[in-house]
Amino acid sequence: MANAKKRHVVEQRRRVRTRRIDRRSGRQQILLLAAVAGCMVVLALASVWWLTGRIEAPAGQALYQFNTQDYHSLAFDPVDVNTVYFGHHDGLKVSHDAGASWQDAALSRVDAMQLVMPSNAPERRYAAGHDVFYISTDGGESWREQMNDLPGLDLHAFAGSPTDPNRLYTVPMGNGLWTSADGGTAWNETTMPPGAETQPIVLAVSPSDPEIVYLARNGEIAISTDRGMTWQSEP
């Protein structure tokens, strides 16, 4: 079982590397975020087709520009691929036409650094950030603060399981790695990768295997194949 998981992780890494190299092949659908002059966010395509192919744009050309000084998160609706959420220091914006136009979402005036939208619970939404942990149970129409017992709410790293909408992972600044099995109310501290004294900048769960968790920090990637109980570092 351990060897099978290791092969699975290696295969996923190969696929990621292939996508990075072969950005122009076929109809690869990749969305890029880039900061321009420190005050704009540019949404651009790595190919001439956007999502379903309904919007065309040459590689590197902006589809839309935001007058904002920061950008943090981007997430696609698990049901409607044309609905995209963008998180920044002043809340969420939403597009219902694959990024061609944007409007303010229901969650505003919060630092939405991370977004989780479970595919098997399409009405559920999570938003986390600086002193922020919100949940929506109606597809983003309304939001409420999620009661929790975390040791802090400076949540730079935040991720959810692809198969269980209640399984969440986060790293409160300076307080280790925590996991929840009930949608974020009760949390338990688990292990951090060896030498991970600094704040992780990325935390993710494999979309094809909920046991596999990735944690990126200082140019390194650590991988767990048992939901964060044990870790191994990858170059």
Give the rounded distance of the alpha carbon of 205 from its chain centre. Answer: 9
**97-116 core/surface letters (b: 16 or more CB in 10 A; e: else):** ebbeebeebebeebbbbbbb
Q: Name the one residue in this structure whose structure tokens are 């076929």.
A: 26
The residue among 196, 189, 205, 184 whose CA lies nearest residue 135 is 184
Q: Name the one residue in this structure whose structure tokens are 């109809």.
A: 27
Q: Which pLDDT belongs to residue 116?
A: 95
For range 59-71, the mean pLDDT:
72
Q: Which pLDDT belongs to residue 173?
A: 87
Q: Which pLDDT belongs to residue 156?
A: 85
Residue 56 has pLDDT above 60, yes or no: no
Span between the terminal Cα atoms of the chain, in Å: 23
Residue 45 DSSP code: E
Q: Which pLDDT belongs to residue 67?
A: 76
For range 218-232, the mean pLDDT:
90
Q: Which pLDDT belongs to residue 139?
A: 93
* Most confident option among 54-58, 79-83, 166-170, 218-222: 166-170
Rg (CA), the chain: 18
Q: What is the pLDDT of residues 104-123, one digit of tens each?
A: 999 999 999 999 999 889 89
> What pTM was estimated for this model as a whole?
0.76
More confident residue, 173 or 57: 173
pLDDT band at 217 (very low <50, low <70, confident <90, very high): confident
Domains of the chain listed by start with CATH number = 70-234 (2.130.10.10)
More confident residue, 167 or 60: 167
pLDDT band at 1 (very low <50, low <70, confident <90, very high): low
Q: What is the pLDDT of residues 24-55, one digit of tens each?
A: 333 334 344 433 333 233 343 322 233 344 45
Beta-strand runs (E) in 5-141: 31-36, 40-45, 49-50, 55-56, 62-67, 73-76, 84-88, 91-95, 103-108, 114-116, 125-129, 132-136
Can you tell me whether residue 112 is helix, strand or coil? Answer: coil
